[in-house]
Amino acid sequence: MKEEIILEVSDLRTSFFDEDFEIKAVDGVSFELPKGKTLGIVGESGSGKSITALSILRLIAKNGKVVGGEILFNGKDLTKLSEREIRDIRGNDISMIFQEPMTSLNPVYTIGKQIYEALKVHQGMDKKEGDKRVVELLELVGIPSPKQRMKQYPHELSGGMRQRVMIAMALACNPKLLIADEPTTALDVTIQAQILDLINDLQEELGMSVIMITHDLGVVAETCDYVAVMYGGQVVEYQEVKELFKNPKHPYTVGLLNSMPRHDVDVDELEPIKGNVPSVRNMPKGCRFAPRCPFATELCVTELPELDRKEDGSEVRCWIYSDRWDGDPEVSVRNEERTT
Amino acid sequence: MVKFIVRRLLQLIPVLLGVTIIVFSLMHLTPGNPAQIIAGESATPETVAQIEKRLGLDEPIPVQFFHFVKDAATFDFGNSWRTSLPVSTELWPKFWVTLELAIYSMIFSIVFGMAAGIISAVRQYSWADVSVMLIALFGLSMPNFWLGLMLMQWFSINLGWFPPTGWGSASQILLPVITLGTSGAAVIARMTRSSMLDVISQDYIRTARAKGLKERVITYRHALKNALIPVVTVIGLQFGGLLAGAVLTESVFSINGMGKLIVDRILARDFPVVQAGILVIAVVFVFINLLVDISYKFLNKRIDMD
Ligand SMILES: Nc1ncnc2c1ncn2[C@@H]1O[C@H](COP(=O)(O)OP(=O)(O)O)[C@@H](O)[C@H]1O
Ligand code: SF4
Ligand SMILES: [Mg+2]
């Protein structure tokens, strides 16, 4: 069965220019998102997840630029659209919610007005019609007494409520794709679960496709169908979620899984990945994970592996899976007793 | 809101009482007997004593102060010691001239300052930004009486475009308003620019962009309203300074306003006019600050007024 692909990112590269120095924040990101599914983008802080997401909607800061690659949304390359065309897509076909619910709403306007703005700009709704829809949306995201709430200012709402408002705003024009950039990281644990459930329920109800960005594999396990693992500005592994947990290929993915708290493993048995994330200003020349990888060879240190696509659609960026692998031919990246 | 305004109005009482005490003390500490000055150098001691009695200057200081506070509280300052005209008759025409000068200058500062600041921020580091900031620096570092003299030299004396003195017609108003308004415009431009730049990098601006709004809407609806909050404070502070600057500007352009009146009457020891004049300026100043606080309330619902 061939699934319809709503978003296809190939070899995306986004750089920031600081004086004459080029900071390659995203340097080789590829993934596909089938329609109606959820893709997780997972990786440590600074691995380029947010910049990837912002590149899709072309919301990167002035000193940043997409310098290479394609972003095909329903077959249209978003990197080639005019300012006007991309504006028509933002908040309409593709919406985004952010990591910082406390600061993502404008403090001087009521939440009702801020949601209405999206309805007005994309659907030309008048105030009366808009107000009705705002109430509907607030109800949809589980905000009690929406008629009163819509007249409130952001400071009158808790972090969880504000994130619900952000979600309502994002859903205002029935987007085909919702990008959620660590939507629960800044929230209390109990609220986190509620917000994730809400996004899951809404996805089913509205048939959206979702990109769920997170640094937490637990969230991926719960919410995603596919997952792209990012390291040092690159995708290092792309898999179906079930496969990823059962059969991780990239040594970094294995490291992430081993450091993930699970109910069947005692906390003190967790093995954090040794070493530090490489700095964007000083990326290793070869495989970006080589300084921390227990399997690194001469080849790994000198040459960057390509993101290689297998027949089953999965992708991995590691020399172990290539013909040129110069290490132990019998190597197994997995720690057998840890897999389930 | 009403509660807030009433409370702020009540706070005026101690402020005005303080101003009253300071004005009264300064006048009484200044050397020179007013009665002597009014009577003239050659007057006999009897005449001087008679005048002192008529003006109540022979009474003990606390009693004089009490009378003064009573007058101030009822805004009835009696007659000028110099011209014998009621103080209000002396004051009001001059007050309007000064207020006009201050208000026109303020409008000039706000309009040019904010426009320049917004352009600068939206086009940070462009030639427009650089030139606006250079002009602002220039405007700030120039003492306003000197700017006034330069403008008068070029435009009135050399080019003959504007009358060099007086107040009333549009052509008379322009140069004094530029003189008085330039430094305020410069301060407002710099504040608007830095405040806008700060706001533009906020998360909620990114949200507005992610919604698909036009840059123009983002700048004016989402950024400007937030950026105005610190600008309004600066505008309020400017207005206080403006009243002081007005006095200097009036003397550069020989404008017959409050500044000139108060200076003249201090020299003549015309206590009622001086005291009333300064009190009026204090009241205006405090009211402006109240207006600033109220506009805050409208701009920023986060400030809790109670
Ligand atoms: N405006 C910017 N200017 C320069 N570098 C930036 C900018 N924004 C992000 N970066 C760099 O890009 C890298 C990736 O950032 P980001 O995508 O936010 O990571 P995360 O995976 O935590 O979301 C970071 O190392 C950061 O230093
Ligand atoms: S390419 Fe080499 S260093 Fe990189 S992850 Fe694979 S084995 Fe480790
Ligand atoms: Mg991030």
Question: Bridge partners of A39?
Answer: A211, A226
Q: Are B261 and B273 in contact (CB under 8 A)?
A: yes
Q: Which ligand is nearest to the CA of A296?
A: 2
To test the pocket of ligand 1, the residue of A14, A50, A229, A256 to mutate (highest count of ligand atoms within 8 Å of its CB) is A50
Task: Work out the average pLDDT over B190-194.
Answer: 95
Q: Which ligand is nearest to the CA of A47?
A: 1
To test the pocket of ligand 1, the residue of A66, A97, A280 to mutate (highest count of ligand atoms within 8 Å of its CB) is A280
Does the pLDDT at position A335 exceed 70?
no
Structural domains for chain B: 2-73 (no CATH), 95-299 (1.10.3720.10)
Residue of A104, A137, A156, A174 to mutate, testing the B interface (most B Cβ within 10 Å of its Cβ): A104
Residues A169/A174/A178/A181 CA torsion (nearest 10 deg) = 0
Task: Work out the average pLDDT over B163-173.
Answer: 84
Q: Are A333 and A251 in contact (CB under 8 A)?
A: yes
Q: Per mean pLDDT, which range of A17-31, A67-81, B37-51, B264-278 is the poorest?
A: B37-51
**Cα of A59 to ligand 3 centre, how many Å?**
13
Q: Which of B268, B243, B203 is nearest to B100 (CA)?
A: B243
pLDDT at A267: 60
Does the pLDDT at position A38 exceed 80?
yes
Total residues belonging to chain A: 340
- Alpha carbons A104 and A97: distance in angstroms, whole number: 9
Report whether residue A254 contacts ligand 2, using a CB cutoff of 6 Å.
no
Task: Work out the average pLDDT over B73-96.
Answer: 86
Give B305's pLDDT tier (boundaries 50, 70, 90).
very low
Atom 24 in ligand 1: residue holding the nearest Cα: A46
Report the mean per-residue pLDDT for chain B. 86
List, as one string, the DSSP characters of A189-258. Answer: HHHHHHHHHHHHHHHHHHT-EEEEEES-HHHHHHH-SEEEEEETTEEEEEEEHHHHHHS--SHHHHHHHH
Does the pLDDT at position A36 exceed 50?
yes
The model's pLDDT over A262-318, given as tens digits with 9 standing for 90+, comes to 666 666 666 778 888 888 777 889 999 999 999 999 999 999 999 998 888 889 999
Amino acid identity of residue A167, one-letter, is: I
pTM of the predicted structure, to 2 decimals: 0.83
Q: Per mean pLDDT, which range of A254-268, B17-31, B65-79, B123-137 is the poorest?
A: A254-268
| Burial annotation A292-320 (CB, 10 A radius, 16+ → b, else e) | bbebbbebbeeebbebeeeeeebbbbbbb
Task: Work out the average pLDDT over B241-261.
Answer: 86
Q: Are A119 and B209 in contact (CB under 8 A)?
A: no
Q: Are A146 and A139 in contact (CB under 8 A)?
A: yes
pLDDT at A340: 40
Q: How buried is B203 (Cβ within 10 angstroms: 0-12 exposed, 13-18 middle, 19+ buried)?
A: middle
Give B171's pLDDT tier (boundaries 50, 70, 90).
confident
Q: Per mean pLDDT, which range of A2-11, A267-276, B10-19, B271-280 is the poorest?
A: A267-276
Give the side-chain half-sphere CA count within 13 A for A113.
12
Tokens of B78: 């009696």
Q: Which of A267, A200, A252 is nearest to A42 (CA)?
A: A252
pLDDT at B304: 45
Atom 26 in ligand 1: residue holding the nearest Cα: A46
Does the pLDDT at position B222 exceed 80?
yes
Q: Are A181 and A215 in contact (CB under 8 A)?
A: no
Report whether residue A46 contacts ligand 1, using a CB cutoff of 6 Å.
yes
Q: Which ligand is nearest to the CA of A43?
A: 1
Tokens of B152: 């008068």
For A182, which DSSP code? S
pLDDT at A69: 96
Q: Which residue has the tokens 């007494």?
A: A145
Task: Work out the average pLDDT over A62-66.
Answer: 92
Report the mean per-residue pLDDT for chain A. 91
CA angle centred on B218, ends B107 and A136, rounded to 5°: 125
Q: ipTM for the complex?
A: 0.90
Does the pLDDT at position B306 exceed 70?
no
Task: Work out the average pLDDT over B262-282.
Answer: 86
Q: Please enumerate in sequence order all residues whose Cβ is within 8 A of that of B293, keeping only pairs 6 or more positions apart, or say none.
A: B8
Residue contact B211–A117, C-beta within 8 A: yes
Residue contact A108–B226, C-beta within 8 A: yes
Residue contact B211–A118, C-beta within 8 A: yes
pLDDT at A293: 93
Give B65's pLDDT tier (boundaries 50, 70, 90).
confident
Give B302's pLDDT tier (boundaries 50, 70, 90).
low
The model's pLDDT over B99-146, given as tens digits with 9 standing for 90+, comes to 899 999 999 999 999 999 999 999 998 999 999 999 999 998 888 889
| Edge-to-edge order in the sheet of strand A38-42 | A94-97, A177-181, A209-214, A38-42, A226-231, A234-240, A315-316, A308-309
Number of A/B CB contacts below 8 angstroms equals 68
Query: Which is more confidently placed, A109 or B44?
Result: A109
Contacts of A169 in chain B (CB under 8 A): 207, 211
Q: How many other CB atoms are there within 10 angstroms of residue A211's CB atom?
A: 27
Describe the crossing of helices B170-200 and B87-122 by its angle, rounded to 10 degrees.
Answer: 40
Q: How many helices (H) and strands (E) does chain A have?
A: 11, 12
- Alpha carbons B66 and A269: distance in angstroms, whole number: 85
pLDDT at A68: 94
Does the pLDDT at position B75 exceed 90?
no
Does the pLDDT at position B94 exceed 70?
yes
Helix (H) or strand (E) run with residue A181 in it: strand A177-181
